[in-house]
A and B are shown apart, each in its own frame.
Chain A
Amino acid sequence: MNHGENLSRRTFLRLGGTAAGAAVLAACAPVAAPADDGSMDEGAMAEPVTIRYGRHDPAAGVAVTLESFHEEYPEIVVSVEQIGEFHAKIPALAAAGTLPDVVRSWEAMALDMGRNNQFIDVQPYVDGEPGFDAEDFYENWWNYPVVEGKRYGVPDAAAPHVTFYNADLFDEAGVEYPNKDSFTWTDFEEKARAISDPDNKIWGSETIPVGWHMYSVKQTWQNDGSFYSEDFLESRLDKEETIQAIQFWADMLLDGNVMPSPSQIIGIGGAGAAAELLAAGKIGMQRMGSWITGSLVDAGFRFNVVAEPSQARRDTITHGAFNNIATTSEHKDLAWTWLNYNTSTQGIYNYASNANFPGTRRSSNEIEPFPWVAEVDFDVDWDVIPDALTYGHILPGPANEGEALKLIGDALERVYSGDAKAADLFPEVSPKVTAVISDI
């Protein structure tokens, strides 16, 4: 046996070590995002160019838009990529330098990726687009993805939270419907309490989805509080208004005679079943995004909508997404062509129609049939839904949102379970949240 003649064990190990070292260096080397020079590639290509479009969903809502786009722009092929585990994979793709040319991102992600130079400033494209009407967008949505003068995306559709109510259940309980012009937290509690019959598993209100931390932020807004300051650099959890708001709803949750309490939720099949209670005809009111309209059409009762109840002011969540161009895209001009087409009046309408959302463009919301309207044989105050876009807040977008929400979520969980009072816990958590979100 003389296998070591040509390659000694030492040489082999040395080569292996070198290869390992090279692999390690390669793994450690950061993929620097290319400089955002705003460069625009020249003219149309002779061969069709593929633009990758990354989304968290299967993109059924943009199928119509894609079809017309491909007819109008045969030189561009838009390839939709549905990206699962969106929150984790988008940063991983950014680290690898392989983000899709156009990414549809949520609120905090759009800002965080923009701040870190992963998305380009699209304002030069907006400025260079003939006839682009920025004023057509709702101001809060149009201004949201702007950091230090750079615009990191263009919004498409947004789902506002409003109050859906079961009119039949109100009639059975002899309770007046919510007043469209004035609906307060006190009104909400009184009506919900009057409808509730926990022994028969009927409640006036939906339960609070404890694990969905962003759901609670709207309650703080309605009381003039907030999770964060306007620039998202400081926590506002320790403010009186925030603490009062969270405790008010926690007390109602734990009461058990207004909404299913945590222990009552167990008896009705857990959180999943609790989320379906309105459609099942078991609760009087549910404060939720407009997307649930579809589930109510065949529910077998008359429903209606009213704004979310207010305390200090009228407010709600509006949740949507932005279309962004990756800094690593080699076809930024063509990416903009698709982005601009997809966020046009018709493009937004096509998507919004599929999802029962209003669009973030006013003109999209003037096309009939209105996307948020469902066909039912009773009167519904549908205008409440797009109206919410005029006063609602967009979900906050602090840096390091995941870690901040863990801190906030743990605190909310303890308050909503009755283990702690917001007044005791939130002042302790607030500086920790500030430390996380200000660490940019």
Chain B
Amino acid sequence: MVAYAFILPWVIGFILFVGGPIVASFVLSFFRWKMIAPPRFYGLTHYINMVTTDELFRTSIWVTFKFVLISVPIGQVLALILALLLNQRIWFLGYWRSAFYLPAVVSGVAGSVIWVWMYHVELGIVNNGLALLGIEGRNWLFDKELVLGSLIVKSLWNIGIPMVIYLAALQGMPQQLYEAADIDGAGEVPKFLSITLPMLSPAIFFNVVMGIIAAVQTFAEPYVMTGGGPDNATLFLGLHLYQNAFHYLKMGYASAMAWIMFLLIFGLTVFQFGLAGRWVYYEGGAR
């Protein structure tokens, strides 16, 4: 009884602020509700409209898909490279680790505002840095050909989180494997490919799963930096959902969209777990 009493505050909080809204959003997805009028039952109409008439939904899925496909692999590779570098004995190691992790503790909104200024056409550090190299700056956030790439680069600002996980995994590597490889005369590249990567595969798997989930849910960056433009080039699924909820007051439709987003993330995660058996190596477990 005492134990339950201790967990009760969390349970109540979960029910009120997480579990309740989750179930409520599911129920609302079958209703038409614009907040200022009572909800009306709408059946599966929202789900049907989403795939048949809402062109912007398709646009947002495509934008999100491109973002995930490009930002997650680049982010993981860079995080791994950084972790490998920061796993060396170098001067100011603590400083470098903190510096690369620091952006991860900055809120998405604050980070986005910083990047808006960095990308500013006249005053931004990006264009001014390019000017020093004799390269003409671009309108990073208002050119529809460039803007998604600009947000992908901004997303790399947060690679401190997977980097720390890779670093922890690297520091837990069993050294006897490297010693055995040294005795066999293996070089650095074979050691990396045959020992480091397989031993890191659980961490890679975890980071990729979490990275994809975060990328599909991207919201703060397009909301703050571009508003979804220009010409809907950065209309992410999360932003389209928000606009439907709070700009168009289509709460039922936005709820339906949230469930589609959930199913998308769930499907991608299940797919990854399905593939994991082929490439993730757990020490002491089956490959």
Contacts of A419 in B (CB 8 A): 231
Contacts of B232 in A (CB 8 A): 410
Task: Out of A3, A20, A85, name the residue touching B1 (CB < 8 Å).
Answer: A3
In this assembly, does B126 line the interface, its C-beta being within 8 Å of a C-beta of chain A? Answer: no
Contacts of A3 in B (CB 8 A): 1-4
Asked if residues B28 and A28 are in contact (CB atoms below 8 Å), the reply is yes
In this assembly, does B188 line the interface, its C-beta being within 8 Å of a C-beta of chain A? Answer: no
Asked if residues A16 and B11 are in contact (CB atoms below 8 Å), the reply is yes
A406–B54 Cα distance when bound, in Å, is 13
Q: Which residue of A lies closest to B5 (CB)?
A: A7
Among B27, B33, B35, B36: residue with most chain A CB under 10 A = B36
A406–B37 Cα distance when bound, in Å, is 22
In the complex, per-residue mask of B247-267: 1 if CB is within 8 Å of any chain A CB, else 0: 111100000000000000000
Contacts of A400 in B (CB 8 A): 34, 248-249
How far is the CB of B59 from the nearest CB of chain A, in Å?
A: 10
Give residues of chain A (126-156) contacting chain B, Cβ–Cβ below 8 Å: none
How far is the CB of B112 from the nearest CB of chain A, in Å?
A: 17
Task: Out of B4, B123, B229, name the residue touching A7 (CB < 8 Å).
Answer: B4
Asked if residues A403 and B248 are in contact (CB atoms below 8 Å), the reply is yes
Give residues of chain A (343-385) contacting chain B, Cβ–Cβ below 8 Å: none
Asked if residues A270 and B122 are in contact (CB atoms below 8 Å), the reply is yes
Asked if residues A30 and B33 are in contact (CB atoms below 8 Å), the reply is yes
A90–B284 Cα distance when bound, in Å, is 58
How far is the CB of A36 from the nearest CB of chain B, in Å?
A: 14
A27–B17 Cα distance when bound, in Å, is 10
In this assembly, does B128 line the interface, its C-beta being within 8 Å of a C-beta of chain A? Answer: no
Asked if residues A12 and B231 are in contact (CB atoms below 8 Å), the reply is no
Asked if residues A19 and B12 are in contact (CB atoms below 8 Å), the reply is yes
Contacts of A91 in B (CB 8 A): 34-36, 249
In this assembly, does A88 line the interface, its C-beta being within 8 Å of a C-beta of chain B? Answer: yes
In this assembly, does B174 line the interface, its C-beta being within 8 Å of a C-beta of chain A? Answer: no
Contacts of A7 in B (CB 8 A): 1, 4
A87–B243 Cα distance when bound, in Å, is 12
In this assembly, does B19 line the interface, its C-beta being within 8 Å of a C-beta of chain A? Answer: yes
In this assembly, does A116 line the interface, its C-beta being within 8 Å of a C-beta of chain B? Answer: yes
Contacts of A113 in B (CB 8 A): 36
Asked if residues B247 and A406 are in contact (CB atoms below 8 Å), the reply is yes
- With A16-B11, A24-B27, A28-B28 known to touch, is A116 a contact of B247 (CB < 8 Å)? no
Contacts of B122 in A (CB 8 A): 269-270
Q: A interface, by DSSP: helix, strand, loop or mixed?
A: helix
Task: Out of B23, B36, B227, B250, name the residue touching A116 (CB < 8 Å).
Answer: B36
In the complex, per-residue mask of B34-77: 1 if CB is within 8 Å of any chain A CB, else 0: 11111100000000000000001000000000000000000000
Number of interface residues of A (CB under 8 A): 42
In the complex, per-residue mask of A242-260: 1 if CB is within 8 Å of any chain B CB, else 0: 0000000000000000000
Asked if residues B4 and A12 are in contact (CB atoms below 8 Å), the reply is yes
Asked if residues A87 and B247 are in contact (CB atoms below 8 Å), the reply is yes
In this assembly, does B21 line the interface, its C-beta being within 8 Å of a C-beta of chain A? Answer: yes
In this assembly, does B192 line the interface, its C-beta being within 8 Å of a C-beta of chain A? Answer: no
How far is the CB of A161 from the nearest CB of chain B, in Å?
A: 24
- With A20-B19, A24-B20, A417-B231 known to touch, is A112 a contact of B36 (CB < 8 Å)? yes
Q: B interface, by DSSP: helix, strand, loop or mixed?
A: loop
In this assembly, does A299 line the interface, its C-beta being within 8 Å of a C-beta of chain B? Answer: no
A403–B36 Cα distance when bound, in Å, is 15
In this assembly, does A266 line the interface, its C-beta being within 8 Å of a C-beta of chain B? Answer: yes
- With A20-B20, A24-B23, A24-B24 known to touch, is A402 a contact of B33 (CB < 8 Å)? no
How far is the CB of B88 from the nearest CB of chain A, in Å?
A: 43
In this assembly, does A196 line the interface, its C-beta being within 8 Å of a C-beta of chain B? Answer: no
Task: Out of B3, B12, B16, B36, name the residue touching A95 (CB < 8 Å).
Answer: B36
Asked if residues A406 and B248 are in contact (CB atoms below 8 Å), the reply is yes
In this assembly, does B154 line the interface, its C-beta being within 8 Å of a C-beta of chain A? Answer: no
Asked if residues A270 and B15 are in contact (CB atoms below 8 Å), the reply is no
A296–B270 Cα distance when bound, in Å, is 62
In this assembly, does A23 line the interface, its C-beta being within 8 Å of a C-beta of chain B? Answer: yes
Asked if residues B24 and A28 are in contact (CB atoms below 8 Å), the reply is yes
Give residues of chain A (1-34) contacting chain B, Cβ–Cβ below 8 Å: 3, 5-7, 12, 16, 19-21, 23-24, 26-28, 30, 32
Contacts of B16 in A (CB 8 A): 23
Contacts of B157 in A (CB 8 A): none
Q: Which residue of B lies closest to A440 (CB)?
A: B37
How far is the CB of B114 from the nearest CB of chain A, in Å?
A: 17
Asked if residues B15 and A23 are in contact (CB atoms below 8 Å), the reply is yes
A101–B12 Cα distance when bound, in Å, is 32
In this assembly, does B282 line the interface, its C-beta being within 8 Å of a C-beta of chain A? Answer: no
Contacts of B4 in A (CB 8 A): 3, 7, 12
How far is the CB of B162 from the nearest CB of chain A, in Å?
A: 33
Asked if residues A402 and B231 are in contact (CB atoms below 8 Å), the reply is no
Give residues of chain A (52-106) contacting chain B, Cβ–Cβ below 8 Å: 85, 87-88, 91-92, 94-95
Asked if residues B23 and A20 are in contact (CB atoms below 8 Å), the reply is yes
Q: Which residue of A lies closest to B253 (CB)?
A: A403
How far is the CB of B259 from the nearest CB of chain A, in Å?
A: 15
Give residues of chain A (369-413) contacting chain B, Cβ–Cβ below 8 Å: 400, 402-403, 406, 410, 413
- With A3-B1, A23-B19 known to touch, is A410 a contact of B34 (CB < 8 Å)? no
Task: List chain B positions with a Cβ less than 8 A from chain A.
Answer: 1-4, 11-12, 15-16, 19-21, 23-24, 27-28, 33-39, 56, 120-123, 139, 142, 227, 229-232, 243, 246-250
Task: List chain A positions with a Cβ less than 8 A from chain B.
Answer: 3, 5-7, 12, 16, 19-21, 23-24, 26-28, 30, 32, 85, 87-88, 91-92, 94-95, 112-113, 116-118, 211, 266-267, 269-270, 400, 402-403, 406, 410, 413-414, 417, 419
In the complex, besides A32-B38, A403-B250, 13 extra interface pairs with C-beta distance below 8 angstroms are: A3-B1, A3-B4, A12-B4, A23-B20, A88-B246, A112-B36, A116-B37, A266-B121, A406-B56, A410-B232, A414-B231, A417-B230, A419-B231
A-B pairs with beta carbons under 8 Å apart, 20 shown: A3-B2, A12-B4, A16-B11, A20-B19, A20-B23, A23-B24, A24-B20, A27-B20, A27-B21, A27-B23, A27-B24, A28-B24, A91-B249, A95-B35, A113-B36, A270-B121, A400-B34, A402-B248, A410-B231, A419-B231
Nearest 9 pairs of A and B residues by beta carbon: A23-B20, A27-B24, A403-B248, A88-B246, A30-B38, A95-B35, A91-B35, A402-B247, A24-B23
